Chain A
Amino acid sequence: MKIDYSIEAPAIEGRLSIAQIEALIAKPLDSKPDKKFLLALSVSGSALALGAICVLMTFYFGIGLWGNNQPVGWGFDIVNFVFWVGIGHAGTLISAILFLLRQKWRTGIARFAEAMTIFAVMTAGLFPALHTGRPWLDGYLLPYPNQHGLWVNFTSPLLWDVFAVSTYFTVSLVFWYVGLIPDFASLRDRTTSKLKKTIYSIFSLGWRHSHRNWQHYEKAYMLLAGFATPLVLSVHTIVSFDFAVSIMPGWHATIFPPYFVAGAIFSGFAMVVTVLIFVRKIFDLEHIITVNHLEKMNKVILATGMMVGYAYAMEFFIAWYSGNPIEQFVFINRAFGPYYWAYWIMVSCNVLFPQLFWVRKFRRNIPLMFVVSIFVNIGMWFERFVITVTSLHRDFLPSSWGYYTPTLYDIGILIGSFGLFFTLVILFTKALPVVSIAEIKAVADGAQPTHHEEGGSH
């Protein structure tokens, strides 16, 4: 197998015509759900139902059902929150940063990755809301004039989180919807069902594919991409501030913001690869989501995996270099203390397994990349577990040391969060075009005027 990396691989393989592309993408929307779809939905729905039961029990009896208590006050709730927010980052990276970098290959995967962002942030948002214990009172998190005469604390990272995550969700949703408007118009003009036509008409807002609109639309899309790029970096930075602004040994580190952002992209790409492997197979999108695209994502996984590995090493170095005995103890305890197993799962999954992607054959091997991406997902979940739990369980005062064990409710809610995410993903594949129709048409062969072919993506 010889690949010339100096030539940009075509975004779409197989010389599909524009009409064929549209038919291919619209097919799942036009056909009735089949057995495979219902089976997948029932599995994820069961996980979701399990999580919902655990959440309702938590509402009724309180968060005493969970395993976190002194000295480990942050347990699965925060671990899952950081994990899911991180998953979301890949979508914005693909849709915004790669757009600004004029990477044509992003068009095949951008819509799906953006959808995953939205679902991941929705899932993540549940945890801060739930861990307050009485989520129906979460309105207090917002600064509004109230009869107590009190305001929220704008200097607290936990409040920054409220603003960062809600802004991130809103902007991602708007960005996604703006991308969907022309597709809704295409679907509206394509469908024969009256009900579908009404729904698509409402959501297309009356889009007419007019070039006078396209001109502003492209400008808006670029502006949104320009905003989403610093936004995505800010969100995980602020999430890392939740830890770094405290004075806990193991948390109080200036490397946290870049380390968290790299980790977020790493885990997000792994999740996108995991899901896309199935989607391209099930919906016959192998020509649009090609092996070349997956290979490029694997390269990103390799690069960010090593950034994360560098951060692990640097944390140990700084702990030694600081000369602070408590800091040093925390890191030795992390690797060789009671939670050594979590630490070594994290290191092997995040640093060792992605090294396989140095070999081109492995980068293009779909079963192998599936296994590695699963490992990365596991490893990144454990990274958050290690950061949160091992720093808390043995800090300054040895008389207050403890060992955190999650309860069945914690595990049930974790499973439920996967259930929610995958239920939303599965419903999405049947309800909306998983690839941006307008964008993918624009990069098809012969889609652009011949005298202008040196221009980048649209």
Chain B
Amino acid sequence: MEKKLFGVTALFNTPDEIIKAAKGVRESGYVKYDVFTPYPIHGMDDAMKLKPSKLGYLTLGFGLTGTFIALFSMWFTMAMDYPMIIGGKPFFALPAFIPVTFELTVLLATLATVIGMLTFFFYFPNNSHPLHDTTFMKAVSHDRYGVCIESIDPKFDITKAKTALSGLGGYDIQEIYYPEKSDIRLFDPKFIVFLIVVAAVTSGAIYFALNKLVYMQPFTWMQHQQKLSAQAETKFFADKFSMRPKVEGTVARGYIPYEFKGLAAPTTEIVNPTFPSEKNLALGKKKFLTFCSPCHGNYGDGDSRLRGQFPNPPSLHSAKVRGWNDGNLYHVLVNGQNVMPSYESQILPEERWAIVNYIRVLQKAKNATLEDIQAVRKEGK
């Protein structure tokens, strides 16, 4: 098969010669030519009559895009999506947004300039260009200067191009051909094995990271902490209890011990220290519904859902209970009776008396006389 010609190259020794050569090639009317120098040479733009680079427009465009993205996203997040007053600033606090706006502008402009230049201006990466691996390229990469007239130039003629280049003082004039198409061996066993290994390592690593690593210390989202947790064993105390017993001989605030604890009946009469105000009764109702109603029923009738499944909870409206004084009710509540446990640890003294008061209200309501109803009606008017 005939090799396809890329162009003709020539080497020069000094910067002055290459400037002269570039001018000469251009003046001969060639358009598709290029000059190769190991570093940029001053005055070459002029010698080749190159138009100024348009790269700056790309930079400007993407820089402004960065500005816009920054301002828009900060407006959206701080003023629209989740507005929050911080440091007394307005939601759209422009002065405080300037740093991030500047950084994003620079970032986008820089990346666009470089990536745009390499891809749109240079068509990089391109390691299969015909000039690669030629002695010409090795020379211009090192310390020589070269010119290449490409075969796609409308005026191109191989002998004329060669004469022109040697006439300008060029030496080592070469014809550069396109490389023969190398077959890409996609199904090379080595390559297939490589792909399999990469796939196995990647998926294995991801599996490990997502299913194992996140459950290992210290990546466990602070699951294990060196602190006491209630109900759990600890190494910190000799008895291994996390929850500490009271210091001996002390009383916790609001937990004065009940003096008739364990007795069938209090030895002296306990006097109700509270007044059944509306607030007190509201508290009593709340606590009654929480602690008493599960057995005694919402209105103290003993009609909860335990009825028939257990020793029936007694009604609070029996003559016996109605006959008790407040202190007696209080004693049962604190001390427990028969199957009823003590509620000392769950209910504070103030709340206990509120419950007692509320029970009295329930008893009165359930067993009201005609006079009571009339009195209430009168009051209602």
Residues in chain A within 8 A of chain B (CB atoms): 17-19, 22, 59-60, 62, 134, 136, 143, 149-157, 159-160, 163-164, 167, 170-171, 174-175, 177-178, 182, 185-186, 188-190, 201-202, 204-220, 223-224, 227, 230-231, 234, 238, 241, 438-439, 441-442, 446-452, 455, 458
Contact = CB atoms under 8 A, between A and B. Distances in A.
Contacts of B38: 18, 182, 186, 209, 438, 441
Given A185-B141, A241-B99, A455-B43, 4 more contacts: A171-B107, A207-B124, A212-B34, A227-B106
Nearest to A453: B42
Nearest to B138: A189
A157 to B, nearest CB: 8
Contact of B110 (A204, A213, A224, A458): A224
26 contacts: A151-B77, A154-B78, A154-B100, A155-B87, A167-B104, A170-B110, A201-B127, A208-B131, A209-B141, A211-B35, A211-B48, A212-B34, A212-B48, A213-B122, A214-B44, A215-B45, A216-B122, A224-B113, A227-B106, A227-B109, A438-B39, A442-B39, A446-B15, A448-B42, A455-B42, A458-B42
B179 interface: no
B158 interface: no
B36 interface: yes
Query: Which 8 residue pairs of A and B lie closest in terms of their CB atoms, listed nearest first?
Result: A189-B141, A206-B126, A442-B39, A155-B96, A151-B77, A18-B143, A219-B53, A160-B99
B122 A451 contact: no
Interface residues of B, number: 68
Given A171-B107, A208-B132, A211-B40, A186 B100 contact: no
Contacts of B74: 154
Given A206-B124, A206-B126, A212-B50, A163 B100 contact: yes
Given A206-B125, A212-B34, A227-B109, A22 B143 contact: yes
A450 B56 contact: no
B195 to A, nearest CB: 19
B16 A190 contact: no
Given A154-B96, A155-B89, A209-B36, A186 B142 contact: yes
Nearest to B34: A210
A155 B125 contact: no
Contacts, number: 206
A234 B98 CA distance: 11
B290 to A, nearest CB: 35
Contacts of B191: none
B86 A209 contact: no
Contacts of A143: 73, 77
B103 A174 contact: no
B320 interface: no
Nearest to B107: A167
Most chain B Cβ neighbours within 10 Å, of A22, A62, A204, A220? A220
A201 B141 CA distance: 13
Interface of B: 14-16, 19, 22, 34-45, 48, 50, 53, 55-56, 59, 73-74, 77-78, 81-82, 86-87, 89, 93, 96-97, 99-100, 102-104, 106-107, 109-111, 113-114, 117-118, 121-122, 124-129, 131-132, 137-138, 140-143, 217-219
Contacts of A214: 37, 39-40, 44
Contacts of A207: 124
A301 B140 CA distance: 39
A202 B16 CA distance: 33
A22 B143 CA distance: 9
Contacts of A442: 39-40
* From A62, A175, A216, residue with most partner B Cβ within 10 Å: A216
B227 to A, nearest CB: 12
- Most A C-beta atoms less than 10 A away, residue of B19, B118, B129, B217: B118
A283 to B, nearest CB: 20
A19 B140 CA distance: 11
A258 to B, nearest CB: 16
Contact of A190 (B82, B113, B141): B141
Contacts of A439: 39
Contacts of B86: 153, 155-156
Nearest to A457: B42
Contacts of A217: 40, 117
Nearest to B93: A155
Nearest to B48: A211
Q: Which of B100, B129, B132 has the most CB of A within 10 A?
A: B100
Contacts of A157: 99
Contacts of B48: 211-212
Contacts of A153: 86
A163 B106 CA distance: 11
Contacts of B39: 182, 214, 438-439, 441-442, 447, 458
Contacts of A186: 38, 141-142
A215 B96 contact: no
Contact of A206 (B77, B89, B129): B129
A217 B97 CA distance: 33
Contacts of A170: 107, 110-111
Given A174-B114, A217-B117, A220-B117, A211 B34 contact: yes
Contacts of A215: 40, 44-45, 50, 53
Contacts of B93: 155
Contacts of A189: 137-138, 141-142
B118 A208 contact: no
A213 to B, nearest CB: 6
Contacts of A136: 219
Contacts of A449: 15-16, 19, 41-43
A178 to B, nearest CB: 6
Contacts of B22: 211
Given A182-B39, A206-B126, A220-B113, A154 B143 contact: no
A213 B48 CA distance: 13
Contacts of B121: 213, 216
B117 A216 contact: yes
Nearest to A439: B39
Contacts of B107: 167, 170-171
Given A220-B117, A438-B39, A59 B100 contact: no
B114 A450 contact: no
A298 B328 CA distance: 95
B93 to A, nearest CB: 5
B99 A163 contact: yes
Contacts of B132: 206, 208
B103 A151 contact: no
Nearest to B46: A452
Given A154-B74, A206-B126, A220-B113, A231 B37 contact: no
Given A22-B142, A216-B117, A223 B96 contact: no
A447 B39 CA distance: 9
A143 to B, nearest CB: 6
B77 A205 contact: no
B124 A451 contact: no
Max chain A CB contacts within 10 Å: which of B37, B53, B106, B218? Answer: B106
Contacts of A167: 103-104, 106-107
